[in-house]
Amino acid sequence: MTDPRDLTSEIFSDAVTLTPVEPKVFDAAFVATTQPCPWPKAYGGDLVAAAAAAAMRTVEDGKQLHSMHSYFMRPADIGGDVRYEVEILRNGRGYSTRQVRAFASDDDGSKPLYVSLAGFAQGEPSASYLAEMPAGLPGPDDVPSSADYLASRDGGTMTPTSKAYWSGGRSFDMRHVPGPVYLTIDGEAAPHQAIWVRPFDALRPVEGLSDEQRDVAALAYVCDYTILEPALRVLGLPWAQEGLVTASLDHAMWFHRPQPFTTDGWLLYAQEALAADHGRGVGLGRFFAPDGTHLATVVQEGMIRDLQAGRG
């Protein structure tokens, strides 16, 4: 069993720690380093969160990030420096817009790895309606952590490195309802699930971001880990399935209201598969605070390639 004292959220804070550099393409530029993971390419949420941080650092009038729309175009190297170029498209009284493109640090701007548009809003008094948090789910204390679940399990393509990563290498404690899809489809093979999520320890200050902006980046970071899982669940494809290849294709996220992301309370990430066909799957996710407040919504499409399909 992984000792909880050894678990840290530092990987996330390292991912969104940006160094300002001279822009080559747009109005401002920052460099970030992608974080370790046991796959051939960097984690997609690494790029989304760093792009969100870069865009937020160019907005100086108090507007808050309300939406991001992203495309993943080329894989980023693990442990490589990525340059995030920010174009200031609009600075309005109520709303502002940024474009962010990510390049390998030595690229001249001809081969973007990732591109996104980010919208910022001043906010104003209004009537309110938000989705309701799912009821009747077991609480996080009644659900095993990834580390506890995997402690005595092995199989498929799981290696000691990927097991350690799933258990404690992603900065956040993630607990599945009805059960994980690491080695098998644990629980009902239905197109929906929920994840209890919180950072392993208190999120560290990030230079250039307020704590509120850091927490927004944390949601953008963690959302990509599991959003395709409802599609994998209903298709009967656990992560350790031989021949399974996945990749993020495009991503949209809306932030409905400011949220504290602390270790004092869990967030619920309720997810469902909307479609799966032609080697792609679409997932919908909603983040809820402990009091049931709907904080953010995610829609993502990803490649789901089963290299074993059709083989006798």
Q: pLDDT digits over 6-45, tens only?
A: 789 999 999 999 999 999 999 999 999 999 999 999 999 9
Strand 192-199 relative to strand 95-104, pairing: unpaired
Q: With bands split at pLDDT 50, 70 and 90, how would you rate the model's confidence at 261?
A: low
* pTM (predicted TM-score): 0.95
Q: pLDDT digits over 109-143, tens only?
A: 889 999 999 999 998 888 998 899 999 999 999 99
Q: pLDDT digits over 154-165, tens only?
A: 999 999 999 999
pLDDT value at position 52? 98
Over range 49-73, report the average pLDDT.
97
Q: With bands split at pLDDT 50, 70 and 90, how would you rate the model's confidence at 108?
A: confident
End-to-end CA distance of the chain: 38
Q: pLDDT digits over 289-309, tens only?
A: 988 999 999 999 999 999 888
% of the chain surpassing 70 pLDDT? 96
Q: pLDDT digits over 163-173, tens only?
A: 999 999 999 99
pLDDT value at position 263? 45
Burial of 61 (0-12, 13-18, 19+ CB in 10 A): exposed
Mean pLDDT score of the chain, rounded to an integer? Answer: 93
H-helix segments, the chain: 10-15, 44-56, 146-150, 160-168, 211-222, 229-235
Q: Concatenate the DSSP letters of all residues of 163-212 into one string.
A: HHHHHHSSSEEEEEES---SSS--S---SEEEEEEEESSPPPP-TTS-HH
**C-beta of residue 280 within 8 angstroms of C-beta of residue 304:** yes
Burial of 51 (0-12, 13-18, 19+ CB in 10 A): buried
**CA atoms of 28 and 309, how far apart (whole Å):** 46
Q: Which sign does the torsion angle of CA 82, 300, 187, 310 carry? A: negative
**Which amino acid would we find at residue 303?**
M
